[in-house]
Amino acid sequence: MKSSIFTCKASSFPSTTFKVLKEVKINIIKMELSITRPDDWHLHLRDGKLLEAVVPHSAHHFGRAIIMPNLKPPITTTAAAMAYRESILKALPINSGFTPLMTLYLTDSTTPAEIKLAKESGVIFAVKLYPAGATTNSQDGVTDLFGKCMPVIEEMVKHNMPLLVHGEVTSPEVDIFDREKVFIETVLSPLVQKFPQLKVVMEHVTTMDAVKFVESCAEGRIAATVTPQHLVLNRNSLFQGGLQPHNYCLPVLKRETHRQAIVSAVTSGSKRFFLGTDSAPHDRLKKECPCGCAGIYNAPVALAVYAKVFEEAGALDKLEAFTSFNGPDFYGLPRNTSKITLGKTPWKVPESFSYASGHVVPMFAGEMLDWLPSPV
């Protein structure tokens, strides 16, 4: 019998093509999703040789990315942000259409004039709040938000400049697993009450407390990015089979109940949540050492992991909004017009990626993933 093609519709994913190979046998050839090219609304690219090694992975999958400013020294001025942007553009593959969206690193001494200059630059899209000591290269972060940064926040409201928040307190008496919850109660909730017109992104949310807070706020003013790791891993993943340094990130992985709450939120179709990988590369030797760095390098696998989560939740029809619509809509930017394909094609994640100074180990190194992204 001659082969023929027909299409079958399903509520949880776009059209899937089947092929009749024999009269009584139907074989699925390949499931493919074609979605608007996603953006990454929380990305660490580092600098120097490491930047050159990792930026192609993000550029291959994403149209734009919000670039985190926690370099050494941090990106605290418009001039520094513009120079860093040029370094990123020079490191991109030839003919890449990837656009870096720059941010400023908020400090106790940031001025309203710098915020005005950043807005006028046309290349800076947000300001990042790192509580001092909260994560990698955050030692220059804010020590007293309400005492030292209120004029800057007022200027940000004036220019509709979003504040991107690393939502953890750093007080040593607060348990590391409670730092996000306490931050919401003592910092973020009072801040949005004081400045109801301030746009805030709660970055890399990790708890049901954060989910509830974001959902309780006005849509369009408060949103959250969600990482691949916080959707598929819980704190057990740090210790299974021995200490797992490549699963260590900040905010740290939480209980399974929190992971489930985040999955439910992002697969619900809510516009308040969008893709932000928090892909954070470190050299292998800086991860596998007595005082290892926090950060998971997930850029090569992020879209495959997100697709897995939405598929398992029966929500593939909601994947495109999470990856490609909610972010630009919140930032007031146009959606991408190009497409990317996700094929149900098993592939093995490389064990590591080499660069001039060493190796970077990706999330799920050496493991098989089911979804393979490729540009259209």
The residue from 39, 40, 57, 128 that is catalytic is: 128
Instruction: Let me know: does 137 contact 46? Beta carbons within 8 Å.
Output: no
218: its two tokens: 């006005």
Is 230 considered catalytic here? no
Interior/surface letters 256-282, b for 16+ CB within 10 angstroms, e for the rest: eebbebbbebbbeebebbbbbbbbbbb
Q: What is the rounded (10 degree) CA torsion for 228, 231, 236, 241?
A: -40
- SS3 of residue 16 by DSSP: strand
Task: Identify the residue whose tokens are 């029809």.
Answer: 317
Selecting among 39, 44, 246, 254, the annotated active-site residue is 44
Active site residue 278: yes
- Catalytic annotation present for 166: yes
* Residue 352 CA: distances (Å) to CA of 29, 53, 284, 298, 365: 31, 12, 9, 12, 7
What SS3 state is found at 241?
coil
Under 8 Å between Cβ of 192 and 145: no
Whole-angstrom distance, CA of residue 153 vs CA of residue 141? 15
Q: What is the DSSP letter of 279?
A: B
* Residue 108 bears catalytic tag: no
Question: Is 258 one of the annotated active-site residues of the chain?
Answer: no
What single DSSP character describes residue 58?
H
Of these residues, 42, 61, 181, 254, which one is catalytic? Answer: 42
Over the Cα atoms of the chain, what is R_g?
21
Place of tokens 């550029």: 59
Catalytic position from the list 204, 246, 282, 287: 204
73 preceded by cis ω (within 30°)?
A: yes
Q: Cβ(151)–Cβ(112) under 8 Å?
A: yes
Looking at the DSSP bridge assignments, the partners of residue 30 are 17
The crossing angle, in degrees rounded to 10, of helices 78-91 and 112-121 is: 30
CA atoms of 126 and 110, how far apart (whole Å): 14
- Of the residues 278, 282, 283, 287, only one is catalytic, namely 278
Helix (H, G, I), strand (E, B), or coil: what is residue 372?
Answer: strand
**Is 61 annotated as catalytic?**
no
Query: No. of H helices and E strands in the chain?
Result: 14, 16
Active-site residues, by number, are: 42, 44, 128, 166, 204, 278
